[in-house]
Amino acid sequence: MTHMIHGPHENQGESFEDKPEVPLSGIIYGDIIYWGTIIATLVVIAGSIMSFVSRRSYIDPVYLLTSVWQGKTVEDIWKDAVGDQPDGHWYLWQLSNDTGLTVAGIALGIFSVIPGIIGAAVYMFKEKQILFGGLAAIAALITIYATIA
Amino acid sequence: MPELLKRVPELTVLIVLTIAAYAIMGLFSEVSGTEVITPFAAWAIIVGSFVISLLIAIISVLGGVGGGVIFTPIMLGFTSADTLIVRSTGLVVAMFSGLVSSGPFMRNGLADIRLVFFCAIPIIVGAMAGSQFAISMAENMGETGDAIVRLTLGIVLVFIAVMFIMGGSKTEYPTPKRIDIISRKMNLKSRYWEESLNKTVEYHTTRALLGGALFFVVGFTGGFFGLGGGWAVVPVLNLVMAVPLKVSAASSGVLLAIGNAAAIWPYIVKGALIGVFAAPWMIGQVIGGILGAHILAKIKAAFVRNILIVLLFLTSIKLIARGVESLFGIDIPLV
């Protein structure tokens, strides 16, 4: 039976404590997201370079910045540039150009949350933490729904 | 700094690549200007956004809030940019320093993974509802909707600033008087190594149901305004659920990342996330988030919080004025 003491304390009879073990599920969650975010940043950097150096941008970057600065609506920006406002995961079909690659990089960083949660859920089930593993699985399902809905 | 760069080689790689990228973009630019922005001005806007984002990330990590609470109100108050674009970029600013800090916080045991997943579901559902509501309001109410967003955000900011002022009542190691039945049944307790005390700290959270309800509200406002929700996550964990302050701050970043990850998709699929505009803000948040997490111990957080309070009050005045001007067609002479 564990005796709970709230707040800082020393283990009885010990002047030096062992650090509490960090749950593997947490480490797996954190590492997947950390490296996912760093890889995503590299993709965004590549997209940014393409937008200025490539002669054929999907949408001219200066036009986009000007439109944002002038307060154009999202609908008008897209209509004036390519004729239609996108719907769905449009950037997946535009990976070869600067505009799609940059948004895909940002989306990749955001998406890394899903494998992170799933990885943590799997290890929580392995650690016999059924309740929290179940909560993580529900969180993963809702996030997947938000991504594809 | 050199020691930090040696200890975290991926940070060095990111900094070097970012500097190289902006140099290449400046030197080998093939873009042509518009009547409003020259190619050099466009490059300067991008580099300037990166530098400001870097500073916001460091300040927000030190102040224990998401960057969205600084970015979104300032952009809505002082620029003409469309509110959907500002709010989608605000979510990027709010979440990426939290995403990148999830790794170190989980590895050193400061973020509580079980607590995170307990609070994640209400915050995700609230954030999704908030962002969907924001999109439909923009589609159906046009400029009136924009004015309402600015006005209500101004009022919310006053409330957040007051919360920061009252934040002095936070306790580092809160002791709950009683543990509610849900927290007890769920065994919502944990322990972590407190470096400053060289001791293990144990804690038992309480008021799980109230905390869950508040997280739904936090998620909704974060998703709707593009603020994130860092301003409220720490107080709810610390003051309501009796979680130690350091664990609250670390778990807050992780929770924000999960909540905002659900909230941002409706903006992305509608094309409201403009890549060239959002990219420097994202890169600044990632690099600033890693830097901020490492210099946290050396800076007085209270100083940063005071700057935030002044910033929030000033921005709220401008937002309320702009909202009233648009809604009632009157002119309020403010800078």
The two three-digit tokens of residue B314, written as one number: 């000033």
Give the three-state DSSP class for A8: strand
Which residue among A26, A71, A135 places its CB closest to the CB of B80? Answer: A71
Subunit contact B82:A110, Cβ cutoff 8 A = no
Contact of B292 with B44, CB cutoff 8 Å: no
What pLDDT does residue B300 have? 55
Using the predicted structure, report yes or no on whether residue A120 has a pLDDT greater than 60.
yes
What pLDDT does residue A15 have? 44
Of A3-17, A65-79, A132-146, give the lowest mean pLDDT range: A3-17
Using the predicted structure, report yes or no on whether residue A12 has a pLDDT greater than 50.
no
Q: Which residues of A touch B113 (CB under 8 A)?
A: 23, 25-26, 29, 120, 124, 132
Name the residue of chain B whose CA is nearest to A79's CA. B271
Chain B contact for A6, CB < 8 A?
yes
Highest-pLDDT range among A131-140, B158-167, B240-249: A131-140
Paired residues of A8 in beta bridges: B201
| Predicted ipTM of the assembly | 0.85
Give the three-state DSSP class for B12: helix
Once rounded to an integer, what is the mean pLDDT over residues A11-27?
A: 70
What pLDDT does residue B139 have? 78
Chain A contact for B200, CB < 8 A?
yes
Once rounded to an integer, what is the mean pLDDT over residues B111-122?
A: 92
Distance in angstroms (rounded) separating the CA atoms of residues B17 and B32: 24
Which residue among A4, A47, A88 places its CB closest to the CB of B269? Answer: A88
What pLDDT does residue B86 have? 92
What pLDDT does residue A5 have? 39
* B198 compared with B315, residue with greater pLDDT: B198
Using the predicted structure, report yes or no on whether residue B87 has a pLDDT greater than 50.
yes
Once rounded to an integer, what is the mean pLDDT over residues B34-50?
A: 93
Q: Which residues of A touch B16 (CB under 8 A)?
A: none
Q: What's the predicted TM-score (pTM) here?
A: 0.85
Q: Parallel, antiparallel, or unpaired for β B189-194 and A7-9?
A: unpaired
- Burial class of residue A67 in the structure, from the number of CB atoms within 10 Å of its CB (0-12 exposed, 13-18 middle, 19+ buried): buried
Q: Which residues of B touch A110 (CB under 8 A)?
A: 95, 99, 260-261, 264-265, 268
The DSSP-derived string for B73-135 is HHHHHH----HHHHHHHHHHHHHHHHHHHHHHHHHTT-S-HHHHHHHHHHHHHHHHHHHHHHH
Q: Indicate the helix (H) or strand (E) that contains B176.
A: none
Subunit contact B24:A53, Cβ cutoff 8 A = yes
Name the residue of chain A whose CA is nearest to B196's CA. A8
Tell me the H-state helices in chain B: 2-7, 9-27, 39-63, 68-78, 83-107, 113-166, 181-185, 208-225, 230-235, 245-263, 265-269, 275-295, 301-328
Q: Which residues of A touch B198 (CB under 8 A)?
A: 17
Contact of B205 with B115, CB cutoff 8 Å: yes
Of A52, A50, A81, the residue nearest A64 (C-alpha)? A81
Question: What's the farthest any 2 CA atoms get from each other in chain A?
Answer: 74
What pLDDT does residue B184 have? 92
**Residues 71-110 of chain B whose Cβ lies under 8 A from any Cβ of chain A:** 79-82, 84-85, 92, 95-96, 99-100, 102-109
Q: Given pLDDT bands bounded at 50, 70 and 90, which one contains residue A2?
A: very low
The two three-digit tokens of residue B179, written as one number: 């543990």
Q: What is the pLDDT of residues A59-117, one digit of tens each?
A: 899 999 999 999 999 999 999 998 888 888 999 999 999 999 999 999 999 999 999 99
* B155 compared with B231, residue with greater pLDDT: B155
Distance in angstroms (rounded) separating the CA atoms of residues B116 and B121: 9
Q: Which residues of A touch B286 (CB under 8 A)?
A: 37-38, 41, 109
Q: Which residues of A touch B264 (CB under 8 A)?
A: 110
Using the predicted structure, report yes or no on whether residue A143 has a pLDDT greater than 60.
yes
Of A25, A29, A10, the residue nearest A131 (C-alpha)? A25
What pLDDT does residue B251 have? 87
What pLDDT does residue B102 have? 86
Q: Quickly tell me which residue has 């509610």 as its tokens.
A: B180
What pLDDT does residue A37 have? 95
Chain B contact for A125, CB < 8 A?
no
Give how far the C-alpha of residue B189 lies from the chain's centroid of Cα atoms, to the nearest Å.
27
Of A51-60, B111-120, B143-152, B236-245, give the lowest mean pLDDT range: B143-152
Using the predicted structure, report yes or no on whether residue A1 has a pLDDT greater than 50.
no
Using the predicted structure, report yes or no on whether residue B177 has a pLDDT greater than 70.
yes
**Residues 26-45 of chain B whose Cβ lies under 8 A from any Cβ of chain A:** 28-34, 36-37, 39, 42-43, 45
Q: What is the pLDDT of residues B67-80, one digit of tens each?
A: 887 888 888 888 88
Q: What's the gap in Å between the CA of B156 and the closest CA on chain A?
A: 23
Q: Given pLDDT bands bounded at 50, 70 and 90, which one contains residue B44?
A: very high
Q: What is the pLDDT of residues B279-333, one digit of tens each?
A: 999 999 999 988 877 665 455 556 656 766 777 787 778 778 878 887 887 777 6
Subunit contact A69:B37, Cβ cutoff 8 A = yes
The two three-digit tokens of residue A133, written as one number: 């593993």
| Residue to substitute from A41, A59, A94, A124, interface B, most B β-carbons within 10 A | A41
